[in-house]
Amino acid sequence: MSDSPESLELKLSGAIEQRDAVLVRQLMDKAEFVLLSMNDAESDGDDEGANVFSTEVDGMDLLVAFTNEEAAGDFVHSMEETYEEGEEIEGYVLDGGALLEYMPPEHGLFLNPESDDSLVIDHDLLALVQKAQA
C-alpha cells in the first residue's frame, strides 16, 4: 500500500523541519515526482530536457517538482497567463531515487509551488539526502 500524497507531504514536511536526511531519503525513495518542462513549438527540440522548471527563492536555485499529477496540473492552470502561444508544458514522472540522482548541481528542491503544501529542501539538506542510505 502506498502513501497518499497528503501523508507523503505531511511526512516530508516533518522530516525537512527536523533536517532528517535519512527519513527524507526514505520517503523520497518510496514516492514518484512530476517534473515540468516547457517546449516552444518553434524550437527544433535539440535541447530536450534543458527546460525543466526551476526557480530562485531567497538567492537559492531550486528545481521545481510536484508530489502528484494533480498538483502539477493545478500549477500549470494557475500559470496559464504567463505562457505565450505555442509554448507547451510537458510533465515527466520520475521515481524519487532518479530525481535525487539527476538533480542539477547546487540546486535545492521546491515541491508543489503555488500550493498550500509547498515544501523547500535547501541545497545543504538535499546534499545530505543524496548521500543518505535509505
Sequence ranges of the domains in the chain: 5-41+52-131
d(CA 109, CA 54): 9
For 5-41+52-131, CATH gives 3.40.1350.90
The pLDDT tens digits for 15-38 are 999 999 999 999 999 999 999 998
Considering only residues 93 and 49, tell me which one the structure prediction assigns the higher pLDDT.
Answer: 93
Please state, in angstroms and rounded to a whole number, the distance separating the CA atoms of residues 112 and 73.
Answer: 10
Locate 30 and state its grid cell.
518510496
Model confidence over 90-121: pLDDT tens digits?
A: 999 999 999 999 999 999 999 999 888 899 99
Q: What was the pLDDT predicted at 1?
A: 42
**What's the confidence (pLDDT) of residue 49?**
44
> Which residue, 29, 97, 1, is CA-closest to 12?
29
